Structure 1
């Protein structure tokens, strides 16, 4: 799960063209709330299930962990290290893989993407690093008999998929609304354990992550141009021609 800048706030880039996460309010990525909900539903069906929520991020990322704990997760792991600044998706998947192996797992559930980056590639990268099956973009998830099964909805049809455990899955925003934390859950979350890890705990070196170890780079970032007024065309018999000329001028046709 990921701690992301609040989309309603003033979001901007730092001088090194990374997202400024220090001077803006943050929260648990909404798409990851669906993953927490699916984990809770699976745990409701299994008496011995334990849910551990994991995030990689700055000190304030603990707020996202507390939100998940208040929803019903049992414990949390927070990976924080100054050398993680600027880590790209490949580096993030490496850190997550090391942390997941440290914790131990049967099933990793993530959101379909983060609401700040929106790439949606980390679940597949994580599965590759762990060497386990991946089943992504599920609208429905169930676990039984050592397997995870799910439904992936497409534009024209739906697929029924399954994979043996351990595995990595990602769920969409169609998988079921996330529950709201109760007052009891919020109070209980304050007493639930949060384990803090850094790169040395995971056996990683600084040059493997961060801007120095990133395989991708942002060269330039500009504000979106101000929206201009549209063109009003009065159809006096040549509306179709004017429309065609406009589309051709914009190279749409």
Structure 2
């Protein structure tokens, strides 16, 4: 059973993002980059499935600049078998990413695509669903537990009413939620081994996919700074603030 795990290179979650002076985007110059946390969870789950004997191969794929090889190497050090990098100088929109991943799926023919539910830079939460539609495969999103047997995947997901269990026939697309697992730290021997593992270099042109942007970013701005808190003496003062100043009651 082959698993395909898309991974994305994003700003490290511990780094404060800075907006460019012209407000055209986020400044990535001299900023520490890392694997998207949700992608990291998906890689961990794929490796665990391999360790259980459910999967035989874990293939990582990333779309981004040449430096995204390091992101793939991180996944290979965690236990992935090989990687594919589709070199792109721009950050493709979700639909373009889904189209490129479909082309990779058509080529690799995995039994399961296991991916993070969203990337922390764009927060679109759209690629998994779009890929499922393009492939005409069943999908199970926001997975907090995955069990595979008999050509089917049972997925537990959190919903407003509690926990929901869905079953999908493989091949399928599953997106990982935060509570699915705790990703491991790669050991030094595995990091050294990962340097020798194969990463196939591709380009967007190799797949003949239309990745023309359909959205236009008008402006990127930092969130408004929070005002200082106010200490109130009585409950009546609190009600007055909420009613007269905040306007929430």
Is 1:9–2:9 an aligned residue pair?
A: no
Q: 1:62-85: CA deviations, max 9, x gaps?
A: 111001000110000111123xx1
Measured in 1, the distance between the counterparts of 2:98 and 2:57 equals 22
Say which of 48, 62, 65 aligns to 2:69.
Answer: 62
Classify the secondary structure of the residue corresponding to 2:104.
helix
Is 1:252–2:248 an aligned residue pair?
A: yes
Classify the secondary structure of the residue corresponding to 2:67.
helix
CA positional deviation for 1:86: 4.1
Aligned residue pairs, count: 241
CA positional deviation for 1:48: 6.2
Measured in 1, the distance between the counterparts of 2:25 and 2:97 equals 14
Instruction: Indicate conservation of the 8 Å contact 1:90/1:214, yes or no.
Output: no
Instruction: Indicate conservation of the 8 Å contact 2:144/2:177, yes or no.
Output: yes
Is 1:168–2:181 an aligned residue pair?
A: no
TM-score normalised by the chain length of structure 1: 0.87
Instruction: Indicate conservation of the 8 Å contact 1:102/1:202, yes or no.
Output: no
Q: 1:163-183: CA deviations, max 9, x gaps?
A: 111110011121121122122
Q: 1:95-126: CA deviations, max 9, x gaps?
A: 22222322221100011221222222211111
Aligned to 2:92: 87
Can you give the 5+ residue segments of structure 2 that lack an aligned partner in the other structure?
A: 1-6
Identify, as 1 or 2, the structure richer in strand. 2
Matches within 5 A, 1:195-234: 195-204=200-209, 208-209=210-211, 213-234=212-233
Classify the secondary structure of the residue corresponding to 1:221.
coil
Matches within 5 A, 1:128-139: 128-139=133-144
CA positional deviation for 1:145: 1.4
Give RMSD over aligned pairs: 2.0
Can you give the 5+ residue segments of structure 1 that lack an aligned partner in the other structure?
A: none
Aligned to 2:56: 49
Measured in 1, the distance between the counterparts of 2:91 and 2:222 equals 20
Matches within 5 A, 1:180-191: 180-191=185-196
Aligned to 2:3: none
CA positional deviation for 1:30: 1.5
Say which of 17, 41, 51 aligns to 1:34.
Answer: 41
Classify the secondary structure of the residue corresponding to 1:123.
helix
CA positional deviation for 1:49: 1.1
Instruction: Indicate conservation of the 8 Å contact 1:75/1:193, yes or no.
Output: yes
